[in-house]
Amino acid sequence: MLRIGVLGCGRIGRMHAANIAAHPRTTLAGVYDVNRAAADDVAKALGVPALDSAEAMFASGIDAVLIATATDTHVAYIEQAIEAGKAVLCEKPIDLDLGRVNRCAANVRGTKLPIMIGFVRRFDPGHRAVRAAIQNGDIGELHQVIVTSRDPGMAPAAYIEVSGGIFRDMTIHDFDLARFMLGEEPVEVFATGARLVDPELMERTGDWDTVTVVLKTASGKQAIINNSRRAVYGYDQRVEAFGSAGMAISENRRAHGARIYGEGFTDKAEPYLHFFIERYQEAFNAEIDAFVDAVERGEAPAVGFEDGRLALVLAEAAMKSIAERRVVATSEIG
Amino acid sequence: MLRIGVLGCGRIGRMHAANIAAHPRTTLAGVYDVNRAAADDVAKALGVPALDSAEAMFASGIDAVLIATATDTHVAYIEQAIEAGKAVLCEKPIDLDLGRVNRCAANVRGTKLPIMIGFVRRFDPGHRAVRAAIQNGDIGELHQVIVTSRDPGMAPAAYIEVSGGIFRDMTIHDFDLARFMLGEEPVEVFATGARLVDPELMERTGDWDTVTVVLKTASGKQAIINNSRRAVYGYDQRVEAFGSAGMAISENRRAHGARIYGEGFTDKAEPYLHFFIERYQEAFNAEIDAFVDAVERGEAPAVGFEDGRLALVLAEAAMKSIAERRVVATSEIG
Amino acid sequence: MLRIGVLGCGRIGRMHAANIAAHPRTTLAGVYDVNRAAADDVAKALGVPALDSAEAMFASGIDAVLIATATDTHVAYIEQAIEAGKAVLCEKPIDLDLGRVNRCAANVRGTKLPIMIGFVRRFDPGHRAVRAAIQNGDIGELHQVIVTSRDPGMAPAAYIEVSGGIFRDMTIHDFDLARFMLGEEPVEVFATGARLVDPELMERTGDWDTVTVVLKTASGKQAIINNSRRAVYGYDQRVEAFGSAGMAISENRRAHGARIYGEGFTDKAEPYLHFFIERYQEAFNAEIDAFVDAVERGEAPAVGFEDGRLALVLAEAAMKSIAERRVVATSEIG
Amino acid sequence: MLRIGVLGCGRIGRMHAANIAAHPRTTLAGVYDVNRAAADDVAKALGVPALDSAEAMFASGIDAVLIATATDTHVAYIEQAIEAGKAVLCEKPIDLDLGRVNRCAANVRGTKLPIMIGFVRRFDPGHRAVRAAIQNGDIGELHQVIVTSRDPGMAPAAYIEVSGGIFRDMTIHDFDLARFMLGEEPVEVFATGARLVDPELMERTGDWDTVTVVLKTASGKQAIINNSRRAVYGYDQRVEAFGSAGMAISENRRAHGARIYGEGFTDKAEPYLHFFIERYQEAFNAEIDAFVDAVERGEAPAVGFEDGRLALVLAEAAMKSIAERRVVATSEIG
């Protein structure tokens, strides 16, 4: 049983803590949050101690730490964890500042400890089946990837204001998923977008709520990402991989299979699983499994620090592309 | 080009006349209806003569006749056609009276002229694909067949009153389809039903509007038929064949593939193709093709007189079963 | 937290024990099995005591007992539990012998303690959505119900030999589901079947592996059940409810939404969730929730002893129907 | 009955001729092709005269002409037809040279005769249902459109060589469909692509076989087009419209609704309708209907010359974008 401490008791930290507590291969050793009440609440619910500080956490007898704190604290906690000899599973993005990420990369270079980044979608069974179809050759040579990712509703303004913008906050998952599917690094990025869901908030924060991104690899493979901050019919999460010998699609999922037929319509289904905690439930558990594997086997994690960094490079390229209305080469970015 | 005359210019006769006129392998030679105005109307629309009598039709230079008149005239027309040396394509049912059908069978025995019965569903591409899956061994040994057939709305009272009852009017198609799929003769029939759509009309006519029939063959294969005279979501036409190595289903069909997603629902589709003329459009054309094949090659038609008779035997068995609340052996029926 | 002891540590008892241990509203107090090693194994995995006897379990400070032992021990354990003042959640069927069930009913009559029967399918979210559509009037007056239930593979011969036959072992779930959907008691039962999956085993045990059952209520509503002991494409679990204003269907479910397209085919999906532990995972948890509700509120459980008894009445009627090749009135059965 | 002459008896001209001959509101007056044998062949099959020249066609008593000749003859025939007082239905593209199209526009300016361009996809019932959902407000304000269009196989090299390249030959349909859905003119075009299906042929012709195009309107609406010259699973034709209140999708279509289930898979369907003649059969007929409407009512056609020109502007912008690896404003193009 891997003993894991959780830093950060917000929505996602709380979910991870519960998953770790229930996981057959892990023990939740304790939790910490800068907001003591939040930590106490989780600690009580799961029957584990709430620690007084991140330092206390690192000093405790844990094997690994899951970092789910505010984004701007990730880098420092990663470095402290590595120094303390703890394996790391860190939520995305590593940081909003690519320079800081690069410096962190330099600081932790050489460690044998796994540093895994929480790109949970790689562990979704449907998305994995698409990846497997690519790798098994079931669809031949890959030509195009389409990632559709739409949130069920706009995040609160307070969240948007510190999110770093849609590309680093939301699309970053899709950048990683595109890289996962492509199996090659994108060399060109084109992004465009608009302020259609909440124009006032987007205008004020300089952000976009409806974006399209096209990535291209050196061999010509194309990945198309489309994002919206609000899909009223639910959390829309699809991946399509098209190749020389076929296509593989990971469709949306619902809580059950009921369909209604009535006067003037047929086959009406309920909304999609809402929201990421429900939609990616198996994925979050499989992510922990993969993390435990990496720690126990001393292997590179399934999603490493460099994956986190490269997704951020794509996000920066997209930001530059949309700002300068031009195609951006990833080589232009750090 | 096979020269075909059409007897009967009601809804289905009119459709057949138009199909024959447009078919690449047939010519519409003329039409006849006891209602002269109806015949004139079709004749004018399709640019063919309206004949004065069925006798005139048989005496004209036609190769074949399509019989789409009132059910109680079918037998006489079949016999006249055969005597006149014309091939026959006759709408279902042959007659409501099995005794009359048996006598007709005796009268036409020995003819080399094709007598084909219009069980159009055998020619539906989806249903045929299910049959092919059975015959190709794709689903192994066949175990169970489920035929779902629900009309989009109750027929007019005047129609119901002379229809011969649901089993001989509507289920007769499903009896034939079950036989087509089973590839063996049912030996036992169980039928049950209720008066739920239009209880008053059903009570008055002694008919049923919501029925379930179970057929069993000597080897134990089972076919389940469920019928309703009214499905508000449209014309529901499905076939499921289940076997030792898999299952084949012929699903319902719509006019196009649009789906709508909104607040609280996903994947809503339009109603099914309405009604048999639209739903079985390809099938009606393929039926004519099969008829032309039989005539030109001098072969037994794909659906022969005996098929029409055996479907009627099942209908009679079902009527007996529902009346006597017991399982009826087909051997008990003529 | 309701303290529950589990009697029986076979496949299903083991699953229940784990569910109870993980459930937010229950505590697993201990386990017992006539096979000590099986009990020890579960006890160790879940960190609870393995008790020496059922008596010891009833004497311990539990609030309730879950009975998942061999069918022929259910009745005695129910009676002991009630005498000991423990609420009961008992796996289906109550017993293979309806007389014994009736005597048990008499013995426990008057208890205020909930006795719930484990007809888990009532708690499946898809099936519940169909029921809700019926109750909300979304599909108008109910006319027909079709329950398709096919196991992914024949159970071991040793299991079949003591199962009590397909109607009491497998169809019993469908009888309950049909009653749940119909909202009225069936008054007539017709069953037919064959030995197509494993003829030798079926012949030897006098059992059937491929059956069709038709139930009819006094008002004419019809329920059709079709069962097979082996569907090679997976565990096939569907419910269709057809009414005067529409239809509701609970479709099969898969582990994820991937689809493959290749040369000569489109839309190929993976097999269904395999087997009942995966397919009805949420349902098993919701069943525990409903049980806790009943105990805490002192209310009649969602599925009571009489529901268990009436499903068995339908099973007996089906057995009589298939044996005597006739329609059986439920009033003929105890 | 509108009397229509057909110029061009290649695959698509032949299809149009047959459709016109069978259409209830049109008469096929005659056909012409530079290849006399091709014209004779169609003329014989449909029982109409083969004319000696386009001039003879214009001089005959036709009301309208359908132009399905080689692309570089379209402009001259349009001008001759207008001069001769004939309404025009012209296949896409109008010409490969935008300058020529602009001059033709000037030459025919002021005519009251309908000049309709054959963007058939606008008439597809599924695509139309998506458009209707947009216009009815069913999906709120439109935000994103995704058009997927993949041919079932690479066209012959001889065809590709004179096609004008993928954007003017194939994507041109999608440009029109995007404009049809967007209801606003795109102001920015980004295109990227690769040579993945037939690299040698593409290299030689300077063409692309796998492309992605992103269009943006002034209000920020985005349209994504993805094309491939070869999808082994069939002709892939989908449209997705996403808006503030929902989504509408036009799914692919198959010849029938059969599904196969077997060991290790479920829900396998047959390939899509192959090819445009089958897939857009209703659309081709509805196109003729719309043309007859325009002529009879003296109204502007549903798809006018300017629509043909604007699709070509988008094609040119895409060509410039891919060549110069930058975003191109449509205002940069003629």
B317-324 contacts, C-beta under 8 A, 24 or more apart: B317/B189, B317/B191, B318/B167, B318/B171, B318/B175, B318/B189, B318/B191, B318/B211, B318/B213, B319/B165, B319/B167, B319/B168, B319/B191, B321/B189, B321/B190, B321/B191, B321/B192, B321/B213, B322/B167, B322/B191, B322/B192, B322/B193, B322/B208, B322/B211
B12 and B51 in a single domain? The answer is yes
Supply the pLDDT for residue D325.
97
D176 and D91 in a single domain? The answer is no
Q: Where are the alpha helices (DSSP H) in chain C?
A: 11-22, 36-46, 54-59, 74-83, 98-108, 125-135, 157-162, 166-169, 171-182, 199-205, 276-279, 281-297, 305-324
Q: Is the pLDDT of residue B262 over 80?
A: yes
Q: Is the pLDDT of residue D269 over 90?
A: yes
Domain-terminating residue out of D75, D96, D113: D113
Residue A320 lies in a domain: yes
pLDDT band for A334, please (50, 70, 90 cuts).
confident
By Cβ distance, the residue of B126, B138, B255 closest to D125 is B255
Residue C302 lies in a domain: no
φ, ψ (nearest 5 deg) of residue B166: -55, -35
| A320: chain D residues, CB-CB within 8 Å | none
3-class state of residue D239 by DSSP: strand
Residue D109 lies in a domain: yes
* D223-241 pLDDT tens trace: 999 999 999 999 999 999 9
* C128-186 pLDDT tens trace: 999 999 999 999 999 999 999 999 999 999 999 999 999 999 999 999 999 999 999 99
Rounded Cα distance between A19 and A23, Å, is: 6
Supply the pLDDT for residue C315.
98
* Best of B237, B263, B266, B272 to mutate (most A CBs within 10 Å, chain A): B266
D39 and D160 in a single domain? The answer is no
* C30-60 pLDDT tens trace: 999 999 999 999 999 999 999 999 999 999 9
A104 and A227 in a single domain? The answer is no
pLDDT band for B198, please (50, 70, 90 cuts).
very high
B156 and B41 in a single domain? The answer is no
Q: Where are the alpha helices (DSSP H) in A265-325?
A: 276-279, 281-297, 305-324
Supply the pLDDT for residue C269.
98
| D259: chain C residues, CB-CB within 8 Å | 267
pLDDT band for C203, please (50, 70, 90 cuts).
very high
3-class state of residue D114 by DSSP: coil
Per-residue CA distances from A79 to A89, A101, D51, D88 (Å): 12, 11, 84, 72
B251 and B316 in a single domain? The answer is yes
**Token duo for residue A257:** 């299979």
Distance from CA of C96 to the nearest CA of B (A): 26
Supply the pLDDT for residue B112.
95
Q: Is the pLDDT of residue C206 over 80?
A: yes
Distance from CA of D329 to the nearest CA of B (A): 32
A101 and A141 in a single domain? The answer is no
Which letter, b or e, does each residue of A243-260 get, where b requires 16 or more Cβ atoms within 10 Å of its Cβ? bbbbbbbbbbbbbbbbbb
Q: Is the pLDDT of residue B263 over 90?
A: yes
Task: Give all chains having 3 or more CB-to-CB distances under 8 Å with chain A.
Answer: B, C, D
B195 and B239 in a single domain? The answer is yes
Which letter, b or e, does each residue of C179-207 get, where b requires 16 or more Cβ atoms within 10 Å of its Cβ? bbbbebebebbbbbbbbbbbeebbeebeb
Average pLDDT over every residue of D73-95: 98
Percent of chain D surpassing pLDDT 90: 100
C52 and C191 in a single domain? The answer is no
Task: Give all chains having 3 or more CB-to-CB distances under 8 Å with chain D.
Answer: A, B, C
Q: Do B222 and C230 touch (CB under 8 A)?
A: no
By Cβ distance, the residue of A22, A133, A263 closest to C260 is A133
Q: Is the pLDDT of residue C245 over 90?
A: yes
Distance from CA of D236 to the nearest CA of B (A): 13
* D8-54 pLDDT tens trace: 999 999 999 999 999 999 999 999 999 999 999 999 999 999 999 99
Minimum CA–CA partner of A153 in chain D: D244
Q: Count CB pairs under 8 A between chains A and D.
A: 116
Residue C36 lies in a domain: yes
Which letter, b or e, does each residue of D62-82 get, where b requires 16 or more Cβ atoms within 10 Å of its Cβ? bbbbbbbbebeebbebbbbbb
Chain D residues within 8 angstroms (CB to CB) of chain A: 140-141, 143-144, 146, 148, 150, 188, 190, 192-197, 210, 212, 214, 216, 219-222, 224, 226, 228, 230-233, 236, 242, 244-247, 325-327
Minimum CA–CA partner of D194 in chain A: A220
| A193: chain D residues, CB-CB within 8 Å | 220, 222
Q: Is the pLDDT of residue D334 over 90?
A: no
Q: Do B269 and A270 touch (CB under 8 A)?
A: no
Q: Is the pLDDT of residue B334 over 90?
A: no
Q: Is the pLDDT of residue A234 over 90?
A: yes
Chain A residues within 8 angstroms (CB to CB) of chain C: 22, 124-126, 129-130, 133, 138-139, 245-253, 255-263, 270
Residues D60 and D49: beta-carbon distance below 8 Å? no
Residue B78 lies in a domain: yes
Q: Do C262 and D234 touch (CB under 8 A)?
A: no
Distance from CA of B150 to the nearest CA of D (A): 17
Supply the pLDDT for residue A206.
98
C37 and C144 in a single domain? The answer is no
- Nearest in space to D286 (alpha carbons), one of D116, D90, D122: D122
Supply the pLDDT for residue B318.
98
Task: Tell me the CATH number at B246.
Answer: 3.30.360.10
Distance from CA of B240 to the nearest CA of C (A): 11
Supply the pLDDT for residue D94.
97
Task: Tell me the CATH number at B31.
Answer: 3.40.50.720
* D112-166 pLDDT tens trace: 999 999 999 999 999 999 999 999 999 999 999 999 999 999 999 999 999 999 9
Bridge partners, residue D222, by sequence: D144, D216
| D233: chain A residues, CB-CB within 8 Å | 246-247
Residue D299 lies in a domain: no
Rounded Cα distance between B31 and D276, Å, is: 36
* C58-101 pLDDT tens trace: 999 999 999 999 999 999 999 999 999 999 999 999 999 999 99
Q: Do D260 and B133 touch (CB under 8 A)?
A: yes
* C288-321 pLDDT tens trace: 999 999 999 999 999 999 999 999 999 999 999 9
Minimum CA–CA partner of D283 in chain B: B256
Report the run of H or E that residue A18 belongs to, with start and end. helix A11-22
- Kindly list the strands in the beta sheet with A87-90, ordered across the sheet, starting from the edge strand earlier in the chain: A26-32, A2-7, A64-67, A87-90, A115-117
Domain extent at residue C109: 2-113
Q: Which amino acid is at A146?
A: I
DSSP state of C193: E
By Cβ distance, the residue of C232, C263, C269 closest to D233 is C263
Average pLDDT over every residue of D83-93: 97
Domain-terminating residue out of D53, D82, D113: D113
Residue A293 lies in a domain: no
Q: Is the pLDDT of residue B151 over 80?
A: yes
Supply the pLDDT for residue A100.
98
pLDDT band for C334, please (50, 70, 90 cuts).
confident
Residue C292 lies in a domain: no
Percent of chain A surpassing pLDDT 90: 100
Q: Do D232 and A222 touch (CB under 8 A)?
A: no
Q: How far is CA A225 from the centre of its chain?
A: 15
* B20-40 pLDDT tens trace: 999 999 999 999 999 999 999
Rounded Cα distance between C323 and D24, Å, is: 61
Domain count, chain A: 2
What is the torsion angle, in degrees rounded to the nearest 10, for the CA atoms of residue A283, residue A133, residue A229 and residue B259? Answer: -120
A242 and A259 in a single domain? The answer is yes
Domain-terminating residue out of D72, D90, D113: D113
Whether the predicted model's global pTM rises above the 0.90 cut: yes
D128 and D107 in a single domain? The answer is no
Cis peptide before D275 (omega within 30 of 0): yes
* Best of D148, D263, D267, D273 to mutate (most C CBs within 10 Å, chain C): D267
Rounded Cα distance between B333 and C17, Å, is: 57
